Structure 1
Amino acid sequence: MRSFIQNSPEYALYQVPTEWRSGARICNLYPPIPRHTRHVDFDIYDFEMLFSDQATIELIKSGKTIGCFYIESPGMRSLLRRLDVQTFEMLTAASSIIRPGVAESGMMQEFIARHKDPSKRKYLIPKMEEHLSETYGVMIYQEDVIKVAHHIAGLTLEEADLLRRAMSGKMRSHKAMEQIMHKFFLSSQNKGLTDEQAKELWRQIESFAGYSFCKAHSASFALLSFQVAFLKAHYPAEFMASVLSNGGGFYSPAVYIQESKRLRLEVKLPCINESEYEYTGRGRVLRIGLMAIKNLSRTSIEKIISERGENGKYVSLADFLIRTQLGYEETALLIKCGAMHCFKITRPTLLRLLDVYIHHRKILNENYNDLFINDTFALERDITTDVNYSAEEICRNEYEAFSYMVTRHPLNFFSEWLNDTRIVKAKDMGKYRGKNARMIGWYMTSKRIRTKKGGIMKFLSLEDLTGTFEAVIFPKVYYGVAELTMSMGPYLVEGRIDTYDPTNIVVENLRVLTFLWIKADEMKDSVDHNYYGDKEKISEEEL
């Protein structure tokens, strides 16, 4: 099958082959990559190219798939590493065995073991090899259930399909399952299966109820996952910009910002002269869009962008205020989050100027002309202070504006811990398989589950400055640290690094580090208290 790239000077739009055009398109999920960023000459539906691309394969098998559809969760990334996924077929299988049905039956672990060690590829019933050799004798698709029910247990194809429908999705029916169960055991007996064999087959089938995928469903997920992994591997800035603009996926925007930095992208703050509404990526630069600034209305953003497009970039704060007519609150937001850094003036200075201009706005509006621009430049020089916000205050303002930090990672404020030689970094976990370790991590996401014995355990997804890792907290430990896991961290984790997947650490002890990183007076609101980041305060009379 071939697809065609539209001859557009600005965008590469990937057309689905004719027989697919009634279905979903990848560019509905991830916007087209602008041609002007780099030469775009690939065909996302050239499957021979896609499935043999080494950069994409390396990204998938290493589990570096944060941002990639369906394969970005901590569990899925761990599975990709354990299976060493390098083919579309194996990614299709992985997309299915991660589902609760296969995982809870214990067959996911069995599939992994059989995949890695051919000597473990044993079949419950010899005839199963004929029908399930592709999956090493493990039922992972709905079609596998039909094969086993018909060829192994002796149900008719109609009865086998009835079983499939009874155990899946909206058609799931306990009553129908009970009815077909009796036929299953009776026909199994007639086929010569022992009671133990029949019970084990039924246990595996029953565990699928409500969770199983048909193979085509898994393949469609795997295809889209492969395609977006290709985009991440070759166009990381454009890809991460699209992920963030689309509202992310499994994780918060903060995680995707840090992932961008791990990809060695330069993450730039929003800018009134450079940013668009959405996040943008070009080359090795990711620019935060104005949409990321909380409490800045879409109307104001569109005004900033349209005015800039019609009359050129803004040359000063006064120029910006006159042309956009934004109010005090929204302009202050732009200043404090760094969106006016293009004026090369400190943020405290800009806030002082903002107060001056707002108080004299009537005069400013009536007299603003080319001559007055020179006066505003002179005023800016006179009122300028070289004292800027501290790194802590800058990061606090960024967090208030975006819900994440850009200038620093939160862990940068805990350097005394990060520099401790006893702390193992995420990138070095492979050197400590099966060994005890201490690690520092910042919260990414978490998942709490109930074990088969009824206990509660938790998986904490954490990151340090070098990578990500999973802190696995079993019930006995979780009972004592449950309340601590409700914070963002940073966490000091002590435990044993997993032998099979060295990105996991089994927690034996956990505590939250605390740091009073902003003094009480620096927490004061700058609008209410005329506080601008240095020790000066300006009264209304002075203005």
Structure 2
Amino acid sequence: MYLNCKTQFSFRYGTYKTEDLVLAAKAQGIKALALTNINNTADIWDFVQFCEAQDIKPIAGIEIRNGDTLLYLLLARNNQGLLAMNRFLSRHLQAGTPFPARPPQDEDYWVIYPLGAIDPGVLQLHEKIGVRAAELNKLYRYRDQAYADKFVMRQPVTFENQTSYNIHRLLQAVDKNILLSRQDRDTLAAPDETFGSPDALLQAFAAYPGIILQTRIVTDSCSIGMDFRKDKTKSSFKGSADADRAYLRQLAFDGMQQRYGSDHKEAQARIEKELQIIDSQGFNAYFLITYDVIRHARHRGFYHVGRGSGANSIVAYCLQITDVDPIELDLYFERFLNPERATPPDFDIDFSWRDRDEIIRYLFETYGADHVALLGAFSTFQQSALTRELGKVFGLPKAEIDQLVHNPYATYAEDSYQKLIAGYSQLIKDFPNHLSIHAGGVLISEAPLCRYTALELPPKGFATTQIDMHVAENIGLYKLDILSQRGLGHIRDCIQLVRENKGIAIDIHAVSQFKNDKRLATKLREAESIGCFYIESPGMRQLLKKLRCDNYITLVAASSIIRPGVAQSGMMRQYVYNFHHQDEVTYLHPKMEALLKETFGIMVYQEDVIKVAHQFAGLDRGQADILRRAMSGKYRGDKEMQAIKTRFFANCKAAGYPDAVSNEVWRQIASFAGFSFSKAHSASFAIESYQSLYLKTYFPMEFMVGVINNFGGFYNTAVYFMELKRTGAHIHAPCVNNSRQLTTLRDKEVYVGFIHIQGLEDTLILRIENERHQYGSFINLYDFIERTGAGIEQLNILIRIGALRFTGKSKKELLWEANFLQRRRPQKIPLAAGSLFEEQPETLTLPELQHHPLDDAMDELELLGFALGNPFDYVDDDIRKYPLATTLEGNTGDTITLLGYLVTKKDIYTRQNDRMFFGTFIDAAGNWLDTVHFPAIARRYPLSGEGFYRITGTVMEEFGTYSLNVTHMEKAGIRNRR
């Protein structure tokens, strides 16, 4: 009877959570249920499991629509029918074409049309017409006995009650971006699209027993199911399990020769152990597919970082999937893969953002479009966006909507819609809004992916599943994470620049040499790490100094304790204190000392938490694994988590631990939720930090240009140009005869890339580069205009930024001349390499035009967003009056006033929910200054954008690092042009 049910995965239409739909059906005594979301099968497998748990027969379906028009329902008679349905749905979603009035003929699924959509006389055996109870009065025209078996009952289920009907209306208004008052009721679900009583529904159709019978025939003929425990990822790389086993073994021991030499007993024993576990768990193909991706990347000259728990594996290290030596760090393989693990793991492989798409394309081409797809994800409605959307639906003015967003508890006039918006936004919060793409997940399946999901084609251009990582993992499809990272773009571009400019080939994977390099140790200890992956932020640079970090092991720890979960819990500060006072460390319990001696009594890694949960609290490995996954945000249920918490405290009580000890251990575990790293993950980050630091130390100019050209890092572009200047580079403004789209470096000469000029059109940039490449440099302004066809607005931009200074004329002369030439120039001119007859440009006689040094700086600030000179040349103050940031050292407790240029700030909230912030400035000599602005000062002296500030405060010292506790602050302006 209930052949047309929807959940929230009918985006902006359905209101039921999947499990709630099933539970509501169970409460009504319903024995069979069809899920038919609109053009979507995202939650089919969750639905199947929920139904099986409630002893309800699940039926997999789809409601096919073109816009608001319902065409038909598709109901799978078997798994082959779901495959055919998903393929049909995928073809049209990916092509963006309307669905046909009738789908392809296939007896593996039922097609049910709405009443009036089709003549029953043309129906095939697998096609029916669905009739709603309210439509029974329309059946008089079909009294012919020939049509007796053409109809079935169709009772749509979209919402539970009046409140959820209102939610449906709001969602539809948001979807169509219209006022609620202008909603067309014909496009909405009918108010009676609820379960109601099955007996009442049967009674409504009592005069039509044939329809009831046909409905039961359809229901009884449908079945869907799977073995959820079976691995459905690609099962073989070489064609058979034996071939895969042998090939992986060969690769592992060949790699051992390169990594460890031929006679390393510990490595050999560990490889043997890992290979046995990998084979027993059926993971040979997964390792080989990952190895093949790395092999292809290295062949193409791409750089990668293998990270995550996969770095616990010596086989992965030997296959060069990772550069983390698990023997060096005493990483245990069982953290990555073990027979008791509840769910198999995955590799996280980072590539440059420029290379990632080619790697993904390689996977599609190698394993076939039927078997490869990006993993979907779901964007959900959140509070601020919902408030705005609902405010628009109710017709509120923008100013009032802004007030609601910034202060949802504000009160307005009695006729305000505030309460409605606040109430419904809470009800709609976390509803799935639309399909998105997982950050890096790629699925490679043995059977066609459409057996499990339909595939869409987002703007990224690669087929993407309608299921997310939770469903994929639950049904046995395990992802390979192909991630993009701008830090690797820095490395890639730097290596290329060094090769081009200096003829030096760099082996960036020679990490063992980097770890033992004394120059790198000094740079690390002094936190000279601007631009370096993961170790350039103010917080991380301070931490490196506090830990006097000059080695790999300490950097691995720092990479983990900088995470918010550790920092916010107070454990980061405690770790630093314990690091400096190791003889004073006290442990909560003797067992805790044995478990956490290496990390000075602090849980730093996920592995530490697992050890504590298992060996201190007596949780089994499966429960510890669920706890770990919950910590990292990869577990979506809280029922199991609550059960584990209960078991944790019960076991602690049984072991006789004091309640205070148990509570504190749990608090430390809970503080890691969603933020902690595995030790292998931290080690992977530390490897990339070393690679970046090596390049910055030995090839600083090339490295900083690489950072600038990848537009990534903690700071804005201006900071990286300042850092580039400190390397001794000569930085030139963009030039039409020397610059390219990206910033270029030759010897020590750097030309800022055209891409940084705001308002300059990409098409003109391309024409400039092409003309120069084919026909040589531009001769003069007239030649530039003739060859590029630049319009007056674009010319003005180039002149103001100094890009035509090669002419030897001032900006003001060029602006006069450009406007004169543009007025005399024909409207249409062929953009060839000059004219048939070269004409000499007319010479203008102009009076002497004054130029102020600040003019260039102002133009640069406006067009680039930063000035290329020393910014302190332009401050409206005497920089000689102010001490430098280096004077903080040794003056703890003194009050001083400095002049600083704002680099960045970080807002945080205290336990009392008061806002404060940390500031980062540079002084006139380029030294860095860290400031602390406690709530009262943050309110009294807020930062008002970029620029210069006079900062007064008390010098503070903590573990050898210095900062200024601000007591007064005011902004300094820019000098007048006089």
CA contact (8 A) 2:874 2:975 kept: no
Q: Counterpart of 1:20?
A: 321
Q: Which among 407, 417, 432 is matched to residue 891 of structure 2?
A: 432
CA contact (8 A) 2:614 2:624 kept: yes
Q: Which among 923, 929, 932 is matched to residue 472 of structure 1?
A: 932
Task: Note the C-alpha offset of 1:454.
Answer: 2.4
Q: Which among 446, 453, 456 is matched to residue 915 of structure 2?
A: 456
Task: Note the C-alpha offset of 1:503.
Answer: 4.3
CA distance in 2, matches of 1:515, 1:96: 42
CA distance in 1, matches of 2:735, 2:888: 38
Mapping 1:106-121, distance limit 5 Å: 106-121=570-585
Mapping 1:30-41, distance limit 5 Å: 30=490, 31-32=492-493, 33-34=496-497, 35-41=499-505
Tell me the number of residue pairs that the alignment of Structure 1 and Structure 2 aligns: 504
Mapping 1:42-441, distance limit 5 Å: 42-171=506-635, 173-362=637-826, 372=838, 375-376=840-841, 379=843, 383=845, 387=849, 389-409=851-871, 411-414=872-875, 416-420=877-881, 423-441=882-900
Give deviations 1:225-278, integer Å, cap 9, x for gaps: 221122222222222222222223222212222222233332221111111110
Give deviations 1:339-385, integer Å, cap 9, x for gaps: 11222221112112212221222399799769856x43x72xx6366
CA distance in 1, matches of 2:745, 2:573: 39
CA contact (8 A) 1:446 1:461 kept: yes
The one-letter code of the counterpart of 1:20 is: I
What CA RMSD, in Å, does the superposition of the two structures yield over aligned residues?
Answer: 2.8
Relative to 1, partners in 2 of residues 1:368 and 1:210: Cα closer, same or farther, differing over 3 Å? Answer: closer
Q: Which among 482, 504, 509 is matched to residue 968 of structure 2?
A: 509
Q: Which among 932, 937, 941 is matched to residue 481 of structure 1?
A: 941
Where in structure 1 are there 5+ consecutive unaligned residues? 520-543
Task: Note the C-alpha offset of 1:289.
Answer: 0.5
Q: Return 510-519 or 343-352, whichever deviates more.
A: 510-519
Task: Note the C-alpha offset of 1:455.
Answer: 1.9
The one-letter code of the counterpart of 2:853 is: A
Question: Which of these two proteins has the greater Rg computed from alpha carbons?
Answer: 2
CA contact (8 A) 1:237 1:283 kept: no
CA distance in 1, matches of 2:890, 2:745: 35
Relative to 1, partners in 2 of residues 1:168 and 1:368: Cα closer, same or farther, differing over 3 Å? Answer: closer
Relative to 1, partners in 2 of residues 1:203 and 1:349: Cα closer, same or farther, differing over 3 Å? Answer: same
Task: Note the C-alpha offset of 1:212.
Answer: 1.4
The one-letter code of the counterpart of 2:572 is: M
TM-score by length of 1: 0.86
Percent of pairs with identical residues: 33
Greater relative contact order (Cα < 8 A, sep 6+): 1
Please say if 1:493 is aligned against 2:957: no
The one-letter code of the counterpart of 1:206 is: A
Task: Note the C-alpha offset of 1:438.
Answer: 0.8
Q: Return 128-137 or 89-98, whichever deviates more.
A: 128-137
Q: Return 458-467 or 158-167, whichever deviates more.
A: 158-167
Relative to 1, partners in 2 of residues 1:199 and 1:357: Cα closer, same or farther, differing over 3 Å? Answer: same
CA contact (8 A) 2:715 2:903 kept: yes
CA distance in 1, matches of 2:845, 2:604: 70
Give deviations 1:41-63, integer Å, cap 9, x for gaps: 33110111121223333322222
Relative to 1, partners in 2 of residues 1:166 and 1:369: Cα closer, same or farther, differing over 3 Å? Answer: closer
CA contact (8 A) 1:271 1:339 kept: yes
Q: Return 38-47 or 115-124, whichever deviates more.
A: 115-124
CA contact (8 A) 1:248 1:256 kept: no
Give deviations 1:50-87, integer Å, cap 9, x for gaps: 21223333322222222222222211111111112212
Give deviations 1:384-414, integer Å, cap 9, x for gaps: 66645312211111111111111341x3223
CA distance in 2, matches of 1:356, 1:346: 15
Q: Counterpart of 1:29?
A: 489
Larger % of helix: which?
1
TM-score by length of 2: 0.49
Q: Return 290-299 or 174-183, whichever deviates more.
A: 174-183
Task: Note the C-alpha offset of 1:178.
Answer: 3.0
Relative to 1, partners in 2 of residues 1:14 and 1:205: Cα closer, same or farther, differing over 3 Å? Answer: closer
CA contact (8 A) 2:877 2:972 kept: no
Q: Counterpart of 2:702 in 1: which secondary structure? A: helix
Relative to 1, partners in 2 of residues 1:283 and 1:77: Cα closer, same or farther, differing over 3 Å? Answer: farther
The one-letter code of the counterpart of 2:321 is: W
CA distance in 2, matches of 1:88, 1:68: 15
Give deviations 1:418-437, integer Å, cap 9, x for gaps: 111xx221233324333221
The one-letter code of the counterpart of 1:286 is: V
Q: Counterpart of 1:445?
A: 904
Relative to 1, partners in 2 of residues 1:208 and 1:48: Cα closer, same or farther, differing over 3 Å? Answer: same
CA contact (8 A) 2:531 2:707 kept: yes
CA contact (8 A) 1:238 1:286 kept: no
Relative to 1, partners in 2 of residues 1:275 and 1:74: Cα closer, same or farther, differing over 3 Å? Answer: same
Q: Counterpart of 2:350 in 1: which secondary structure? A: coil
Q: Counterpart of 1:45 in 2: which secondary structure? A: coil
CA contact (8 A) 2:508 2:691 kept: yes
CA contact (8 A) 2:511 2:687 kept: no
CA contact (8 A) 2:875 2:973 kept: no
Task: Note the C-alpha offset of 1:158.
Answer: 2.3
